[in-house]
Amino acid sequence: MRVVIAHNAVEDTDTPDARDVEVQVTTVAAALRALGHTAIPLPCTLDLADLKERLAALRPDGVFNLVESLDGTGRLIHVVPALLDALSLPYTGACAEAVYLTSHKVLAKQCLAAAGLPTPAWIGPFPEAAPTVAAAPDPTGPGTPWIVKSVWEHASIGLDEATLALCEDKQIAAARLPERAALLGGACFAERFIAGREFNLSLLVAPAGPQVLPPAEILFEGYAEDRPRIVGYRAKWDPTSFEFTHTPRRFEFPPPDAALLEGLTALALRCWRLFGLNGYARVDFRVDAGGRPWILEINANPCLSPDAGFAAALAAAGVPLGSAVERILAAAGRKSV
């Protein structure tokens, strides 16, 4: 097969999170070539007419979609999949609609809440709508901290541990939305902060339905009591930082965690089906002190870099990265099961 690897164009001046897509392109291209396919990297910009012409000239059998943003904004992550739909070109991962819904974190939370799935209460978004407190249950009552997050941007953009907007209550959080929006990709919301454990569950397409890979827990080693236990920008992208070196993931758990892990697995599968995901995905959770899980985000096309969480989950499951790429490619253009 001739497979175009569509990815967001990268500049030398881009931040580490933006440049990481180059690592993904190299990884996927090597896997495709090892499988006997022709791999053709194709950087994408806002010039969709040019992109359409280049795709017509390349005549690919399919597209491996690694586009995470356009023109530096995650708000446009769904544009290239939408173009591929218009051109009737099969592509990997979730469809354009699912990419849009899951990338807009507030819309995703609205879908989760409507389906009866647990997601923390939220305020916003700002400025798309007047800030209001969502009608989601808040079992902890008054005095619970809230966190201000970007509506569109992923990779913990805007969640710098040194300037983290962790608010004492929802009124303070609501008041901070206008001042934080410009720092968070132009749109933000506030979410009830779940103090507790953090888990990531990766999913991979399989013949009998999505396979949930071994759950991963992020550990916060050596964190002082006053340091927020959150995987922020430094923890993901600054190898020299305390946060990066003190947030390892683990895949082995004691027997008392069995019921919790089973519950997380069931919730991850429900997210897959709710949003019509395909190929691969990751669901991020927090678990409160009472052992109750809360869904934070759904990543429809998670990072495929060798050092990322998805690759680690594949390794824990004994699935070679090349085999995962083969499965993802085979599922291109299918509807979710």
Confidence of residue 60 (pLDDT cuts 50, 70, 90): very high
Per-residue model confidence as pLDDT tens digits over 286-337: 999 999 999 999 999 999 999 999 999 999 999 999 999 999 999 997 754 4
Mean pLDDT to the nearest integer, 8-32: 91
Mean pLDDT to the nearest integer, 133-158: 67
Q: How many CB atoms lie within 10 A of CB 263?
A: 16
Euclidean distance between CA atoms 41 and 55, whole angstroms: 11
Per-residue model confidence as pLDDT tens digits over 27-37: 999 999 999 99
The predicted pLDDT at position 281 comes to 98
Distances (CA, A) of 76 to 26, 70, 267, 279: 23, 6, 28, 21
The predicted pLDDT at position 238 comes to 82
Euclidean distance between CA atoms 98 and 108, whole angstroms: 9
Mean pLDDT to the nearest integer, 218-245: 84
Does the structure show a pLDDT above 60 at 133?
A: no
The predicted pLDDT at position 131 comes to 47
| Nearest CA-CA partner of 283 in 220, 219, 209, 198 | 198
The predicted pLDDT at position 239 comes to 87
Euclidean distance between CA atoms 184 and 181, whole angstroms: 5
Distance of CA 228 to the CA centre of its chain: 21
The predicted pLDDT at position 164 comes to 63
Confidence of residue 135 (pLDDT cuts 50, 70, 90): very low
What percent of the chain is modeled with pLDDT above 70?
91
Task: State the chain's mean pLDDT as an integer.
Answer: 90
> SS3 letters for 282-303?
EEEEEECCCCCEEEEEEECCCC
Per-residue model confidence as pLDDT tens digits over 233-276: 778 878 888 888 988 999 999 999 999 999 999 999 999 999 99
Contact 94, 275 (CB under 8 A): yes
C-alpha angle 60/93/269, rounded to 5°? 155
**pTM score, whole prediction:** 0.92
The predicted pLDDT at position 337 comes to 40
The predicted pLDDT at position 155 comes to 52
Mean pLDDT to the nearest integer, 117-139: 72
Confidence of residue 171 (pLDDT cuts 50, 70, 90): confident
Phi, then psi, of 216 in degrees rounded to 5: -115, 135
Contact 106, 132 (CB under 8 A): no
Phi, then psi, of 302 in degrees rounded to 5: -70, 165
